[in-house]
Amino acid sequence: MTETAPVLLVDQRDGYRVLTLNRPQRLNAFDAGLHAALRQALAEAGEDPACRAVLLAGAGRGFCAGQDLAEPGLTDPDVDLGAVLDRGWNALVAALRGLPKPVVCAVQGVAAGAGASVALACDITLVTEDAKFSQAFIRIGLIPDSGATWMLPRLIGPARARALAMLGDTISGAEAASMGLVYRAVPAASLMAEAEALCARLARLPAEALAATKRVLDAAEDNTLAQQLALEATVQRDLGRSTDYAEGVAAFQQKRPARFTGAPE
Ligand code: T3D
């Protein structure tokens, strides 16, 4: 397939950046080119102080159908799918989780296979009520990957995780939200407006505290309560010396909206 349009659209808004997967003819399935473009865009978003949040979306009728199964070589006898994951999907999930800025994901239509994993790896995921989430891997003889086996049981518990992973059933966005897989389901007509409003709101919040919230919540997955209490104290000690904390407390005392200017670490 020859692609004439850019596979990723990048739009800077006031305080945040919208990254749109743009291979709608393949339901935004990822090939190596899209992986490279998105990782570079995330790195640039991370370094730009004017970008305080990222919105990840998909063009067309679906969010993402996972791996581009038409990419040459995938079923060659000597193919190493582990290396395909390491180079592409695992690096992407690590980039999303490691970005010191909130990532909002807007899912309409299909989120299948690793496309669903990407949606789950973002910080706040909004979906349309009629979106279609599926752990499609089993239908092609694979296990859930790109972090799905780690995220699913943590988000929805082992019973539901096992059933979805083994059966590959498709669930709606409304069901995904009601079982805690994603933050919220909204009517299709308002998805992008709600996702952009969320990003604009995040862009006005204290950036350093948002980055720390993301990092500390991730650390909680491996820590004991004692370790987590100690980590919270360490992080709060630093944030307590920040200009955003001083501004937040002053704004509260003066009964005015706070204006946070601190940059993410
Ligand atoms: O490298 C490795 O394999 C390891 C990594 C694995 C990570 C993974 O993500 S594995 C899972 C890969 N994804 C899938 O298995 C999903 C495949 N797609 C589907 O099952 C269906 O397309 C959907 C259920 C998602 C949607 O069905 P529907 O009926 O709404 O749409 P469609 O007609 O099937 O798809 C529309 C077009 O997109 C179609 O192209 P065409 O015929 O109009 O030219 C279809 O071929 C294309 N498309 C959809 N998914 C993919 C794709 N092309 C390439 N790769 C895809 N994953």
Structure confidence by residue, pLDDT tens digits, 142-192: 999 999 999 999 999 999 999 999 999 999 999 999 999 999 999 999 999
> For residue 206, what are the contacts with CB-CB under 8 A and spacing of at least 6?
242, 244, 245, 248, 260, 262
67 lines ligand 1 (CB under 6 A): yes
Length of the chain (residues): 265
Pocket-testing residue among 1, 22, 23, 27, ligand 1, by greatest number of atoms within 8 A of Cβ: 27
Torsion angles phi and psi, residue 122, rounded to 5: -75, 165
Secondary structure in 3-state letters for the chain: CCCCCCCEEEEECCCCEEEEECCHHHCCCECHHHHHHHHHHHHHHHHCCCCCCEEEEECCCCCECCECCCCCCCCCCCCCHHHHHHHHHHHHHHHHHHCCCCEEEEECCEEECHHHHHHHHCCEEEEECCCEEECHHHHHCCCCCCCHHHHHHHHHCHHHHHHHHHHCCEEEHHHHHHCCCCCEEECHHHHHHHHHHHHHHHHHCCHHHHHHHHHHHHHHCCCCHHHHHHHHHHHHHHHCCCHHHHHHHHHHHCCCCCCCCCCCC
**Predicted pLDDT at 27:** 98
74 lines ligand 1 (CB under 6 A): yes
**Predicted pLDDT at 82:** 96
92 lines ligand 1 (CB under 6 A): no
Torsion angles phi and psi, residue 191, rounded to 5: -55, -55
Kindly give the parts of the chain with pLDDT less than 70.
1, 265
CA of 40 relative to ligand 1 center, distance in Å: 24
81 lines ligand 1 (CB under 6 A): yes
Asked if 26 and 60 touch (Cβ cutoff 8 Å), the reply is no
Q: Whose CA is nearest to atom 20 of ligand 1?
A: 136
> For residue 236, what are the contacts with CB-CB under 8 A and spacing of at least 6?
none
Which atom of ligand 1 is nearest the CA belonging to 109?
30
Which atom of ligand 1 is nearest the CA belonging to 26?
38
The tens digit of pLDDT for each residue in 89-108 reads 999 999 999 999 999 999 99
114 lines ligand 1 (CB under 6 A): yes
Which atom of ligand 1 is nearest the CA belonging to 142?
10
CA–CA distance, 15 with 239 (Å, rounded to integer): 22
C-alpha 109, offset from chain centre: 16
Asked if 164 and 153 touch (Cβ cutoff 8 Å), the reply is no
69 lines ligand 1 (CB under 6 A): yes
**Predicted pLDDT at 1:** 67
CA–CA distance, 103 with 255 (Å, rounded to integer): 30
C-alpha triplet 154, 128, 50: angle, nearest 5°: 80
Q: Whose CA is nearest to atom 27 of ligand 1?
A: 110
- Residue indicated by tokens 């690590």: 94
CA of 191 relative to ligand 1 center, distance in Å: 23
Q: Whose CA is nearest to atom 55 of ligand 1?
A: 68
**Predicted pLDDT at 63:** 98
